Amino acid sequence: MKHARTNSLPFMKMHGLGNDFVVLDARARSIAMTPALAMAIADRHRGVGFDQLAIIEPGSGDAHLTFYNADGSTAGACGNATRCIARFLMDETGKPALTLTTERGTLFARDAGDGRTSVNMGQPQLRWDEIPLAHEMDTLELPIEGKPTATGMGNPHCTFFVEDAEAVDIMTFGSAHEHHPLYPQRTNVQVASLIGPDHLRMRVWERGAGLTLASGSSSCATAIAAARRGLTGRKVTIELDGGTLQVDWREDGVWMTGPTAHVFDGHFTHDWLEMVS
């Protein structure tokens, strides 16, 4: 089989609690990503498949990260992908802590021990125009049935607190609210229920990706919303479909901690790239 590696594009497949990513390293080789190419890679039958695609580029810190959704749109933040890449870079460099830049801003990551990685996702965006919403309103309880809370974590979020998150048809519910007119840039949708002191069960529908097993930025947004509404303190455990994350809203930002996995490395062949370009 003749596919010269020099004409192919290497990639890494990673996931954080089943929230899966294709990661491209463009620090030594520039990559001309397009929405069409991102969508082709996202195809789980004809490509590789992912919830988000991340590109590692040179930056003012240890690296700069750019994110794409499965529909080819860009995302300002992706918490679990940031943790996965931070773990990869820490293993590569031997550093216990890193500085990463994103559209969201400068993020700090560190080794949390026991195979876990923490990332500071920055301060939440709580004003209507930061999230953004379509016009001025109270972000704690939106004028939507269920009175969800709006939060920005570099991308917009809409969090519904319900009696039982398991009982919600998240695919129907999430897709119905992703394009709500109050969110001009669409929104990630979470349904969450309190299952114990500072302990939440949360399910998520991501804009541009759909149902995901986990979402880092959604976990942060849900923790912020729960604390603002007095349901929890500022340090919570969140149970997602794919596993457990810890979120701690501190003075210096929202820290998210959990496991990561580097599943495999591969190459997109020159022929496949030519076919989808």
Q: Specify binding-site residues for substrate.
A: 19, 52, 69, 79-80, 155, 188, 206-207, 216-217
Q: Where is the binding site, in residues? A: 19, 52, 69, 79-80, 155, 188, 206-207, 216-217
158 is catalytic: no
Structure tokens at 64: 């700069």
Catalytic residue from among 78, 84, 158, 220: 78
User: Cα(154)–Cα(52) distance, rounded to whole angstroms?
Assistant: 15
Catalytic sites, residue numbers: 78
